[in-house]
Structure 1
Amino acid sequence: MAKKFAPRQLTLSVGILVICILIAVALSSWKETPEKEREPDPVPLVDSIILEPQSLQLTINSQGVVSPSIETTMVSEVSGVVKSVSTAFVSGGVFKKGDVLARIDDSDYQVSLSQAEASLAASTARLQEESARAEAEKKSWLKSGKKLDAAPALLLRTPYVAEARANVKAAEAQLRKAQRDLERTQIKAPYDGMVKERTLNLGQFVMAGSQAGSIFSVDKAEIRLPVKSSDLAFIAMPAPVKLTQRFGLQEVKWNAELTRAEGVVDDRSRMHYVVAEVTDPYGLNATIPQTPLKSGSFAQAAITGKSLDGLFRLPRNAIYGDGKVLIIDENSTVQFRSINLIYSDNTAVFVNGGLKSGDRICLTPLSLPIEGMKVRIKGELLTAETIDRPDAA
């Protein structure tokens, strides 16, 4: 019985196998053939600029603290009780040259002046008396028929006259001292200025040499500005300086002038220092009210440097670490070119060597640039005026 059904089972198995093969072939034909990935273009796309010579008015930026051109510590030159204090002798008070800021009780100094005047009067009278006696003795000696050269000095009262004359000189010196001491009871301003602080008060006893206060001049202010040694070569004095301070949303500017360079270099920062002067920083003589440039405040400074011609301006990202740029020739291949850097700011560098007008510079940084490699220039060529635009690419 088994032998009878063997061919039928074989036929059935072969049929099932054929059906499976057909299904597998059909399924495989329905699968889409994947697209072949597009190979990247081996020629990089770059931005470029055609060089044109430019003139550059250099500006050196710095910052510093405003200080008065003259600051003085006032002291009492005599001892005594402070009798009066000027209303201007307070912090921030403004005064003129010669104004009396404080007075010390001068009663004792008036007495000393009277005594000196009396002493001078007595010494002068004594000199006149001795001079008259000497003249009388001289006439008597000559009447006797003797020569004046043979007369003894004591007889002619020469030593007494000299002593009286010396006493007069001493009395005159004492009188001048008494007059100066009396004048020094008034503490006067030596120049037009402003009070920084006052340390004496009404009724206080002060000794000679005691500090009375601190004042400073207001005709000029100074600001000490650090500059790099490389920038110092581009500064010619005198040079205009623009000072800027910001008060919230308000920005205030003052005109200043660079007047001198200090003769030393900071031993820690290795910076050079130049000094700018501002006239009338508090605006006391201005016809239009202005914001004062206060002593001790911080200000930004823009120093107008020398004017240079024939420079080429490049963005910083066009410079490679070894001080070279990539030139794109007429065959759209790149070549390295060494440059001579003259000046740089926050966005660009300026060169005057190694390049010429009409050279095309590659602006796109390349990771592994090789001389002779091909590049493609992106869109319209940029110009020197557009290299800082964010949409330049």
Structure 2
Amino acid sequence: MKTVCFVLLMGAAGGVAAATPPPAAINAADGRVRVQLMSRHAVTLSGEIAAKIAALSVVEGGSFRRGQALVEFDCGSYRAQLRKAQASLEAASELMKVNNQLAKYNSVGKLELTQAQGKAKEAAADASYAQTLVSKCSIVAPFDGRVAKRSAAVHQYVNPGSPILDIVDSDSLELRMLVPSKWLATLKSGSAFKVTVDELGATFPAHVERLGAQIDPVTQTILAIGVIDGKAANLLPGMSGWASFK
């Protein structure tokens, strides 16, 4: 049985969230706190080389598996550079072999031998660099997930760092909120609560997994982290609702 994880937060100082929740987000009187679902794993994929996109195997909303090639670049020029570097390495290695043999018979000077060794090392470094570039000609999925946004298209030329895909793991969700720090008297790891998701109109049982490390002195709130009990279908990042602790 898969467990859907939640991190209960909404706007802590110290970088956990961007803004302090409005007064309506916390109803301490009836033990309710406003929450938002977010993916534990969400990332923007971008290329590390300057190249034209040859293939994009996924569409917005589409699913993929870890290790699947999501983006393929047109790397003809990079592969040609690799072949050239490998040929230079082969020639330099052969020259060094010959000079090593000649050195046994004192038929080559120490300077020539040192230079041959240096050229071989330089050629090996060039070949390694070219191989590294070619290895970046595709982007593979770092986890199972879905495509949230496509920022580029096939045949488009992109520079290093240009966003191509926003991807999320929709099966590993966090529900974020802040709870009043005075709840610490009773709120512990393992404390049960219920989460009602607005978009689904459904309520799920959950429990606290752990609490934050510090209290926000301005809002007097603390981060709490919990999980939904059991498997919950149809939940997506961006959904929101209420967590009830009564």
Shorter-chain TM-score bucket reads 0.7 to 0.9
Find the residue that maps to 2:105 and give its secondary structure: helix
Distance 1:255 1:111, change over 3 A: farther
Q: Quote the Cα distance in structure 1 between the aligned partners of 2:117 and 2:137.
A: 31
Answer yes or no: is the 8 Å Cα contact 2:85–2:126 preserved in 1: yes
Q: Which residue of 2 aligns with 1:262?
A: 212
Q: Rg bigger for which structure?
A: 1
User: Any runs of at least 4 consecutive aligned residues in structure 1 with deviations exceeding 6 A, and if so which?
Assistant: none
Q: 1:183 is matched with which residue: 135, 154, 161?
A: 135
Distance 1:167 1:254, change over 3 A: farther
| Structure 2 unaligned spans of 5+ | 1-29
- State the TM-score, normalizing by the size of structure 2: 0.77
Q: Which amino acid aligns with 2:36?
A: V
Q: Which residue of 2 aligns with 1:300?
A: 242
Distance 1:218 1:246, change over 3 A: closer
Q: Quote the Cα distance in structure 2 between the aligned partners of 1:169 and 1:255.
A: 62
Answer yes or no: is the 8 Å Cα contact 2:45–2:166 preserved in 1: yes
Q: Which residue of 2 aligns with 1:83?
A: 54
Find the residue that maps to 2:177 and give its secondary structure: strand
Find the residue that maps to 1:91 and give its secondary structure: coil
Q: Which residue of 1 aligns with 2:101?
A: 132
Q: Quote the Cα distance in structure 1 between the aligned partners of 2:180 and 2:162.
A: 43
Distance 1:274 1:159, change over 3 A: farther
Q: CA RMSD in A?
A: 2.7
Find the residue that maps to 1:128 and give its secondary structure: helix
Alignment of 1:98-177 (within 5 A): 98-137=67-106, 157-177=109-129
Answer yes or no: is the 8 Å Cα contact 1:262–1:275 preserved in 2: yes
Identity %: 24
Find the residue that maps to 1:223 and give its secondary structure: strand
Q: Quote the Cα distance in structure 2 between the aligned partners of 1:274 and 1:161.
A: 67
CA drift at 1:182: 1.5
Does residue 245 of structure 2 align to residue 276 of structure 1? no
Answer yes or no: is the 8 Å Cα contact 2:99–2:108 preserved in 1: no
Answer yes or no: is the 8 Å Cα contact 2:170–2:237 preserved in 1: no
Q: 2:179 is matched with which residue: 227, 231, 241?
A: 227
Q: Quote the Cα distance in structure 2 between the aligned partners of 1:257 and 1:97.
A: 29
Find the residue that maps to 1:180 and give its secondary structure: helix
CA drift at 1:169: 2.8
**C-alpha distance after superposition, 1:231-276 (max 9, x if no partner):** 12322225454322245xx742335453332334345422111122
- State the TM-score, normalizing by the size of structure 1: 0.50
Q: Which amino acid aligns with 2:211?
A: A
**C-alpha distance after superposition, 1:182-206 (max 9, x if no partner):** 1212122111111111101111111
**C-alpha distance after superposition, 1:103-131 (max 9, x if no partner):** 11111111011011111101211211221
Answer yes or no: is the 8 Å Cα contact 1:66–1:296 preserved in 2: yes
| Structure 1 unaligned spans of 5+ | 1-58, 138-154, 284-289, 304-344, 346-393
Answer yes or no: is the 8 Å Cα contact 2:198–2:239 preserved in 1: no
Answer yes or no: is the 8 Å Cα contact 2:53–2:154 preserved in 1: yes
Q: Which amino acid aligns with 2:87?
A: A
Answer yes or no: is the 8 Å Cα contact 2:193–2:243 preserved in 1: yes
